[in-house]
């Protein structure tokens, strides 16, 4: 590890782990309702799963190849793996401490009780026997493993039991068997209860009935375990994109030893553990001994339990933006003004409504739409199909590589094609991450193009959980740019210079750096200068260098970055003018908003791109200026609130760890998400109030 690199950059994996730590701290936060805390705890687990499959998997392959190429922070793959092992083991033990010492007891108090084998009543036992015989037994197929080389391929991330049996007669060698707990089995089995909710975990249940699986054999030990495998890199390019080039060469050799994590119950004997480790060829630092249920994500069903309102966040329902008139077509509203929506505080339906109106409008000629991840029963897809059937030219760019959604994407892509929609699968070698919809409509004055730029997916479900920006406009310059953007990604034309927008991987990074340099230049000339930006991740060395230069020049840089941040803030002579905060709260912060002082003529952009090499070099992304005053001011207001959060915000310290903003003091002050929610509600009330001061009279129809 070189000192100067480490001083300049924070390792991206460790930074990501710090993000997961902040989620864990939400779970530990007793001011948050219990089931929400449990949900945060399960998110910590599912995040780690993905992290191990993709990031650790990639690093391990590199390490086996003895690659000494270092990351920007100067760490070799092996150094990174060691640091990750150290950090995750601490995190996992904190996570389980939280579960066993805080959450489980609290659940019990709330009458949600987990029963262990030893705690079962006769009634419970009878019920269990019944369930086991009827529903579970047929799905279990224990596998005897005579030697460590005989272990068959085990399912990735699935729960298994490892059973040690007494040695056969005249032998001292223990015998082992593995019982896969099939995916179809529910992790929680509800027990008959006198009051409250009682459940048993499937591994505990099977344990009590184990004798039935091994008749006539004597069981010495039974422990649950789970392995996590290196993901298939060829499809998961989004997650390990920066490793991809080197990865492809090692894909083959990797297949042999692809266990990146082995989780085993704390109580496992050393003999059993050695057996598992050898059979799975699990590297030493991949073993995690877990004190509590393996794979906490299985408990997420508890958060769906009915009748525990007080254990959840108070419901925040999204408002219908008063800017979108309900009695007019969205087209008409947009002809008069552009509209900016901030989800999930404001509803996503105006976007869906625009598309639905377009499908039925006789003057709409063409619709173009990028689909990345969309919901299962999507009104967006329905509208596209209807539009095509009504004779409009509909083009859909379907990104098949969307993480873990490939199968679903292929399925509805076929449906679109059958309806006559022209379906394109995006640009070779690049993942299309931009969110764009365009509607071409004939109007008396000419063709008008209506555009929707988003920072989030066209998915009404995630639009209720992610904070994202929608910008709806018919600005002619943005319209022309959007048309040319579509022509570029559908192959009708080579990319050309745009008027207003920037596109990755072409000019987006350059433009961002140019704007940062512009601030530096203005500062040098004695003007006011600052950069404010909100995004999910910052890892691009080029942009980070520009930000350091800005800091050195005295430009104030305020960053609100939810996840990874490789920039090291607050270091004298390098980054003392940079602050980084992160908000982790009930909604997933997802919008990317950039604000440059620009000598007082604020430049504000929304974007789909995080500042990471994978986004700037290997994805099709958009950077869109928001220039109309109302929308721009709304974005500035959102940024203001985000930077004021002192309840659920963390500040990144120069040592790479995070500290709650206002730590040590009583946590009072502004909670950004709540403030945004209240503000959205207030805006609606205000608009209704305004309406009430003028009377609109119902008149008989003429």
Partner 1 sequence: MPELQNKNMTPPPDMSWRPVAVIDIGSTAIRMTVAQVDSDGRITPLESLKQAVALGRDTFVKGRIDRSTIEEAVRALNSFRHVLQEYQITSDDQIRAVATTAVCEAENRTTFFDRVYIATGIKVSPVNEVDATRLTYLSTRSLLKSHASLSRGNVVIAEVGGGSTELVYMHEGKVLVSQVYRLGSLRLRESLEGFRSPVIKSRDLMENQIQTTVALIRKSISTEGGTTLLAVGGDARLAASELTPGWEEEGYARLSVQEIGRFTEQVLKLSVNEIVRSFHMSFPDAETLGPALLFYYRLTRALKATTIRVADVSMRQGLLLELARHNVFDPDYHELIIRSAREICKKYLADEAHSIHVSELAISIFEELKQEHHMGRWNEVLLRVAAILHDIGTFVSPRNHHKHSMYLIQNSNIFGLNRRDQLIVSLVARYHRRSPPKSTHSEYRAMDRERRIDIVKLAAILRVADALDRSLSQRVRNISFAREPGRFVITVPGVDDLTLEQMALQSKGSMFEDVYGMSVVLRAQRGTAI
Q: How far is the CB of 369 from partner 1 (least distance, A)?
A: 14
CB of 506 to partner 1, least distance (A): 5
Helix (H, G, I), strand (E, B) or coil at 289: strand
Q: CA angle, 157 as apex, 267 and 56 as ends, to 5°?
A: 95
How do beta strands 592-596 and 603-607 pair? Answer: antiparallel
Closest contact distance (angstroms) between CB of 577 and partner 1 is: 26
Question: Is the omega angle on the peptide bond into residue 482 within 30 degrees of 0, that is, cis?
Answer: no
User: Least Å distance between CB 482 and partner 1?
Assistant: 9
Cβ distance to partner 1 smaller for residue 216 or 444 = 444
Cα(128)–Cα(279) distance, integer angstroms = 32
In angstroms, give the least distance from the CB of 442 to partner 1: 6
Is residue 542 involved in binding partner 1 (CB under 8 A)?
A: no
Q: With respect to partner 1, which residue has the nearer C-beta, 231 or 508?
A: 508
- Min dist CB 520 to partner 1, Å, is 16
Binds partner 1 by CB under 8 A, chosen from 420, 542, 570, 637:
420
259/516 with CB nearer partner 1: 516
Tokens linked to 247: 């990865």
Is residue 491 a contact point for partner 1 (CB under 8 A)? yes
Contact 259, 225 (CB under 8 A): no
Cβ proximity to partner 1, 375 vs 487, nearer residue: 487
446 versus 600: smaller Cβ distance to partner 1 = 446
Cα 317 to Cα 315: distance, rounded to the nearest angstrom: 6
418 contributes a contact to partner 1 by CB under 8 A:
no
CA nearest to 128, candidates 200, 219, 213: 200
Closest distance of CB 548 from partner 1, Å: 23
| Choice from 269, 493, 527, 659 touching partner 1 (CB under 8 A) | 493
Query: Mask: binding to partner 1, 424-463, rule CB under 8 A, as x and -?
Result: ----------------x-x-xxxx----------------
Tokens representing residue 354 in the block: 């625009």
Active site residue: 433, 452, 590, 595, which one? 433
Spatial distance between the Cα atoms of 243 and 621, rounded to a whole number of angstroms: 20
Judge whether 266 and 293 are in contact, CB under 8 Å: no
391 binds partner 1 (CB under 8 A): yes
Per-residue interface string for the shown chain with partner 1, residues 494-533, x marking contact by CB under 8 A: xxxx-x------xx------x-------------------
CA atoms of 575 and 594, how far apart (whole Å): 19
Rounded-to-integer distance, Cα 405 and Cα 459, Å: 13
Min dist. Cβ of residue 538 to partner 1 (A): 24
CB of 615 to partner 1, least distance (A): 17
CB burial of 486-518 (b: ≥16 within 10 Å; e: otherwise) equals bebbbeeeebeebeebbbbbbbbbebbbebbeb
d(CA 18, CA 15): 5
User: Between 167 and 362, whose beta carbon lies closer to partner 1?
Assistant: 362
331-370 binders of partner 1 (CB under 8 A): 362-363, 365-366
Question: What burial class does residue 284 get, using C-beta atoms within 10 Å of its C-beta: 0-12 exposed, 13-18 middle, 19+ buried?
Answer: exposed
User: Is 433 considered catalytic here?
Assistant: yes
Residue with tokens 């057996």, as numbered in its chain: 275
Identify which range of 55-63, 477-485, 564-572, 574-582 contacts partner 1 by CB under 8 A.
477-485
Pick from 158, 175, 157: which is nearest to 166 by CA?
175
Output the smallest distance, CB 451 to partner 1, in A.
Answer: 13
303 touching partner 1, by CB under 8 A: no
640's tokens = 């203001």
Burial degree of 103 (CB within 10 A; 0-12, 13-18, 19+) = buried
C-alpha separations of 545 from 9, 105, 136, 538 in Å: 10, 48, 58, 12
Q: How far, in whole angstroms, is CA 535 from its chain's centroid?
A: 13
Q: How far is the CB of 338 from partner 1 (least distance, A)?
A: 19
Name the residue nearer to partner 1 (CB basis): 132 or 485: 485
**Residue closer to partner 1, measured from CB, 6 or 365:** 365
The nearer residue to partner 1, 487 or 579, going by C-beta atoms, is 487
- Measured from the CB atom, the residue of 446 and 573 that comes closer to partner 1 is 446
User: How many Å apart are CA 142 and CA 164, to the nearest integer?
Assistant: 12
User: Residue 553 has what DSSP assignment?
Assistant: T
Q: Are 343 and 466 in contact (CB under 8 A)?
A: yes
The CB-based long-range contact list for 215-220 (8 Å cut-off, 24+ gap) reads 217/165, 217/166, 218/165, 218/166, 219/163, 219/164, 219/165, 219/166, 220/164, 220/165, 220/166, 220/174
Closest CB to partner 1 among 76 and 483? 483
Structural contact between residues 560 and 583, judged by C-beta atoms closer than 8 angstroms = yes
Instruction: Kindly tell me the burial class for residue 615, based on how many C-beta atoms sit within 10 Å of its own C-beta (0-12, 13-18, 19 or more).
Output: buried
Only one of the segments 198-206, 350-358, 377-385, 490-498 lies at the binding site for partner 1 (rule: CB under 8 A); that segment is 490-498
Phi-psi group of 292: left, alpha or beta (phi > 0 → left; psi -120 to 50 → alpha; rest → beta): left
Confirm if 657 and 18 have CB atoms less than 8 A apart: yes
Q: Which of 671, 433, 584 is nearest to 43 (CA)?
A: 584
Number of residues that this document lists for the chain: 702
In the complex with partner 1, the residue whose CB is nearer, 62 or 413, is 413
Minimum Å gap between C-beta 498 and partner 1 is 10
> Minimum distance between the CB of residue 257 and partner 1, rounded to whole angstroms?
38
Task: Candidates 94, 312, 335, 393: give the one binding partner 1 (CB under 8 A).
Answer: 393
Give the binding-site size for partner 1 (rule: CB under 8 A).
31
State which of residues 208, 286, 483, 536 lies at the interface with partner 1 (CB under 8 A).
483
Phi and psi at residue 496, to the nearest 5°:
-125, 175
Rule CB under 8 A: is residue 473 a binding residue for partner 1? Answer: no
Taking the least distance from each CB to partner 1, the nearer of 166 and 442 is: 442
Give the CA count within 13 Å in the CB-facing half-sphere of 169: 1
CA 141 to chain centre: 35
**Dihedral, 535, 472, 406, 366 alpha carbons, nearest 10:** -150
Residues 492, 685, 686, 690: which binds partner 1 (CB under 8 A)? Answer: 492
For residue 326, count other CB atoms closer than 10 A to its CB. 10
Helix/strand/coil for 517: helix
Out of 163, 484, 574, 676, the residue judged to bind partner 1 by CB under 8 A: 484
Residues in contact with partner 1 by the rule CB under 8 A: 362-363, 365-366, 391-393, 420, 422, 440, 442, 444-447, 476, 480, 483-484, 487, 491-497, 499, 506-507, 514
> Which residues are designated catalytic?
433
């Amino acid at each position: 590890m070189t000192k100067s690199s480490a001083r300049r950059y924070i390792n991206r994996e460790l930074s990501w782990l710090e993000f997961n730590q902040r989620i864990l701290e939400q779970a530990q936060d007793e001011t948050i309702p219990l089931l929400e805390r449990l949900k945060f705890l399960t998110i910590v687990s599912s995040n780690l799963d993905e992290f191990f499959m993709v990031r650790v998997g990639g690093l391990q392959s590199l390490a086996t190849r003895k690659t000494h190429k270092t990351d920007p922070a100067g760490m070799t793959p092996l150094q990174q793996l060691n640091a990750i092992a150290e950090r995750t083991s601490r995190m996992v033990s904190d996570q389980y401490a939280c579960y066993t010492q805080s959450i489980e007891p609290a659940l019990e108090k709330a009458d949600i009780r987990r029963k262990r084998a030893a705690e079962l009543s006769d009634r419970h036992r009878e019920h269990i026997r019944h369930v086991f015989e009827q529903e579970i037994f047929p799905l279990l197929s224990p596998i005897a493993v005579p030697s460590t080389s005989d272990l068959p391929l085990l399912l990735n991330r699935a729960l298994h039991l490892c059973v040690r049996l007494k040695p056969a007669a005249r032998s001292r060698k223990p015998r082992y068997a593995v019982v896969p707990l099939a995916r179809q089995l529910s992790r929680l089995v509800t027990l008959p209860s006198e009051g409250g909710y009682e459940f048993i975990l499937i591994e505990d249940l099977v344990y009590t009935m184990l004798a039935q699986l091994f008749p006539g054999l004597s069981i010495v030990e039974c422990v649950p375990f789970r392995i996590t495998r290196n993901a298939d890199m060829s499809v998961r390019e989004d997650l390990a994109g920066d490793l991809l080039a080197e990865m492809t060469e090692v894909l083959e050799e990797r297949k042999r030893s692809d266990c990146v994590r082995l989780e085993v119950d704390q109580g496992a004997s050393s003999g059993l553990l050695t057996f598992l480790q050898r059979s799975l060829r699990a590297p030493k630092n991949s073993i995690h001994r877990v004190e509590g249920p393996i794979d906490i994500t299985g408990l997420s069903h508890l958060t769906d339990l009915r009748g525990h309102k007080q254990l959840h966040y108070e419901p925040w329902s999204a408002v219908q933006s008063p800017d979108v008139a309900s009695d007019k077509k969205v087209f008409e509203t947009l002809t008069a003004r552009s509209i900016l929506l901030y989800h999930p505080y404001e509803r996503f339906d105006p976007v869906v409504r625009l598309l639905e109106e377009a499908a039925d409008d006789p003057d709409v000629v063409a619709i173009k739409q990028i689909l990345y991840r969309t919901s299962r029963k999507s009104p967006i897809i329905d509208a596209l199909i209807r539009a095509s059937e009504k004779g409009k030219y509909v083009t859909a760019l379907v990104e098949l590589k969307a993480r873990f959604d490939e199968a679903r994407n292929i399925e509805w892509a076929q449906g679109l094609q059958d309806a006559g929609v022209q379906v394109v699968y995006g640009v070779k070698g690049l993942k299309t991450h931009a969110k764009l919809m365009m509607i071409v409509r004939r109007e008396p004055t000419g063709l008008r193009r209506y555009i929707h730029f988003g920072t989030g997916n066209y998915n009404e479900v995630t639009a209720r959980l992610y904070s994202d920006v929608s910008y709806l406009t018919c600005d002619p310059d943005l319209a022309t740019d959007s048309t040319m953007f579509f022509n570029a990604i559908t192959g009708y034309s080579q990319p050309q210079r745009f008027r207003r927008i920037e596109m990755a991987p072409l000019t987006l990074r350059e433009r961002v750096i140019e704007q940062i340099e512009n601030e530096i230049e203005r500062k040098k000339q004695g003007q006011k200068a600052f950069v404010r930006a909100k995004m999910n991740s910052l890892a691009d060395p080029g942009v980070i260098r520009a930000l350091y230069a800005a800091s050195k020049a005295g430009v104030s840089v305020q960053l609100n970055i939810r996840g990874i941040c490789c920039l090291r803030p607050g270091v004298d002579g390098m980054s003392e003018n940079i602050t980084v905060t992160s908000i982790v709260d009930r909604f997933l912060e997802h919008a990317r908003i950039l604000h440059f002082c620009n000598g007082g003529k604020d430049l504000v952009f929304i974007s789909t791109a995080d500042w990471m090499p994978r986004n700037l070099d290997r994805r099709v992304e958009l950077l869109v200026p928001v220039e109309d005053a109302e929308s721009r001011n709304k974005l500035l207001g959102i940024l203001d609130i985000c930077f004021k959060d002192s309840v659920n915000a963390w500040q990144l310290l120069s040592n790479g760890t995070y500290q709650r903003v206002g730590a040590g003091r009583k946590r009072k002050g502004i909670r950004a998400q709540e403030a945004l929610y209240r503000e959205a509600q207030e805006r609606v009330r205000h608009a209704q109030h305004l309406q009430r001061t003028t009377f609109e009279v119902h008149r008989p129809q003429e």
